[in-house]
Structure 1
Amino acid sequence: MGGTLVIWWPAFTLGACNAIFFDNVLALWAVATAALLSGVVLRRRGPLPLAGWVALSLPSVWVLLAAVAPRSHGFPYLHYAEALLTLVGAPLLAWLLSRILVPDYSSLPVSQRLGALAVTVVVGGLAFLLGKFNYLFLTCADFDVSGNNSPAHCAHGKPFNRG
């Protein structure tokens, strides 16, 4: 469940707007940095593999890269780095959160660990499709009321009455 919280919104916005917005990447950064710092402070949970440290560091690398990229000429491929970071980093972060939140995660059978990963990937895929086909159940006004930009292919009309 924790993994799906990390992946669903970036996948939805990618489907709806063909973009992963900076707030998605910064949310990923916040969770990854909190997990990284917790791993440093609370070493009692066991050693984190090198791949884990690298995965948790990726969002900070993106922030540093964005900060030093020249603004006048731009860094034309930075948005591809953001998308790659989110699409690769989110599942890795979900895996790490599983290891942190479920103390006996490593003792689970491989099939159950892969099943948990599959659930996260499926929810991410479904969220992408929900974003892609948002016009079937949301209107442009729903996006506006929530403070989000309306995607190009949203349905025009009043917000759906939720109550």
Structure 2
Amino acid sequence: MSDNQNTSSVKKASTEMFTLVGVAIGLSAYTWDLSFNFGAFGVVFLGHIIAIWLFSLSILMVTVFAHGSLLPGNKWIGYSMLILPTIWLVARIIDDSLNTGQLTDHVLKVASILSIAIALPYVVYLFFYFTSPDILNLNRKWMTALAGIVIVIGIIGYGLGRHNYLIMSCENFEISGQDTPDNCRCAKKADDDSPAAKAASSE
């Protein structure tokens, strides 16, 4: 009896570990991209926010047309949370296309930011609920470890993005099709300023 319990505990721990590793890899990749670009450019790229809107809209459409609610908990609260990113998009369109005045622009901007900030935790929860439900059954220790991993990756990504000149050059950003941060290092200029280049130019 004891051996069976030990074997079951080992299998459960292994399953939890594999779940933790898989989710940590996916979250770390997204967190790295988000935090590095935020550190380098000081903004959250529109593509990241659009991804949140697309996911929330797809889940909203599926749950509306499905027979019965697929959302956990109160479905009306879920619908309200899922529609917030669409409100952000509408506010963004209105703000960009109409000359509504400075006060109205400020109100629309605050409303759009709040809509994304309020909806994001619920959208992330639904993402795991539908794609990797095992993560929601992890004990507090593993959930804390996952949160710690993501936070550390985010801090490192932001720090390296902020000080991108330590590991990258402007040409690295240009080759990848991105704009160049204000503080990026120009490799060509650095080569021209090297002692060997100066000696060659003096000759």
1:33 aligns with 2:60: no
More displaced stretch, 23-32 vs 81-90: 81-90
Gaps of 5+ in 2: 1-24, 189-203
Equivalent position to 2:98, from 30, 49, 71: 71
Deviation at 1:129, TM superposition (A): 1.7
Matches within 5 A, 1:29-68: 29-40=53-64, 47-49=71-73, 53-68=79-94
Structure with greater helix percent: 2
Q: Tell me how far apart the structure 2 counterparts of residues 65 and 118 of structure 1 sit (CA, whole Å).
A: 34
Q: Tell me how far apart the structure 2 counterparts of residues 18 and 113 of structure 1 sit (CA, whole Å).
A: 29
- Letter matched to residue 98 of structure 2: R
TM-score normalised to structure 2 length: 0.59
Paired position in structure 1 for 2:156 = 126
Q: Tell me how far apart the structure 2 counterparts of residues 80 and 13 of structure 1 sit (CA, whole Å).
A: 22
Q: Tell me how far apart the structure 2 counterparts of residues 68 and 10 of structure 1 sit (CA, whole Å).
A: 26
Matches within 5 A, 1:133-152: 133-152=163-182
Paired position in structure 2 for 1:23 = 47
Deviation at 1:14, TM superposition (A): 1.5
Query: Conserved in 2, the CA contact under 8 Å of 1:135 and 1:155?
Result: yes
Higher alpha-carbon Rg: 2
* Count of residues in Structure 1 that have an aligned counterpart in Structure 2: 158
* Percent identical: 23
More displaced stretch, 83-92 vs 63-72: 83-92
Query: Conserved in 1, the CA contact under 8 Å of 2:36 and 2:162?
Result: yes
Higher relative contact order (CA 8 A, sep 6+): 1
Deviation at 1:97, TM superposition (A): 1.9
Deviation at 1:26, TM superposition (A): 1.4
More displaced stretch, 65-74 vs 142-151: 65-74
CA RMSD between the two structures: 3.4
Gaps of 5+ in 1: 159-163
